[in-house]
């Protein structure tokens, strides 16, 4: 699979997060996907992931805007590891804007019908090692 379709999938997912359209967002994930909510806390399966994004939206005061930076894709058979700069812009309750940049890691898997879905979403990348 080429680079471009995975990039478009991530852009669409980040747009859905920004718009808090979590029903559309679920199309990004495999049924057995895992999301790293924060170091030490994961959500597995669409029901848990959907709830997690509601909580994340609340946490960021419904101000979260997610954008993408540089991207690198490594394919191995029916899986792909995506390494991507993710930019999170937020505004707190006092109106103070913040901007965070993370080097995220995603694992995609091709299902038997040839459809690629995200099976692991870890926006913390290798920073998990420094936080656990």
Which residues are near a second copy by CB under 8 A?
A: 30-34, 36, 42, 44, 69-70, 72, 74-81, 83-85, 103, 105, 107, 109, 119-120, 122, 125-126, 128-129, 132
Nearer residue to a second copy within complex by CB, 7 or 63: 7
The least CB distance from residue 90 to a second copy, in Å, is 22
Nearer residue to a second copy within complex by CB, 38 or 62: 38
CB-based burial label for 71 (10 Å; 0-12, 13-18, 19+): middle
Nearer residue to a second copy within complex by CB, 31 or 92: 31
Strand order in the sheet with 97-110: 41-44, 29-38, 116-122, 97-110, 79-91, 65-76
């Amino acid at each position: 699979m080429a680079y471009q379709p995975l990039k478009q999938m991530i852009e669409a997912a980040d747009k859905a997060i920004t718009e808090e359209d979590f029903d559309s967002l679920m199309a990004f994930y495999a049924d057995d996907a895992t999301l790293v909510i924060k170091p030490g806390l994961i959500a597995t399966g669409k029901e848990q992931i959907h709830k997690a994004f509601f909580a994340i939206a609340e946490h960021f005061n419904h101000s979260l805007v997610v954008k993408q930076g540089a991207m690198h894709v490594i394919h191995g058979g029916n899986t792909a590891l995506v390494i991507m700069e993710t930019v999170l812009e937020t505004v707190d309750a006092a109106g103070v804007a913040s901007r965070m940049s993370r080097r995220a890691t995603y694992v995609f898997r091709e299902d038997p019908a040839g459809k690629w879905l995200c099976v692991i979403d870890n926006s913390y990348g290798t920073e998990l090692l420094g936080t656990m």
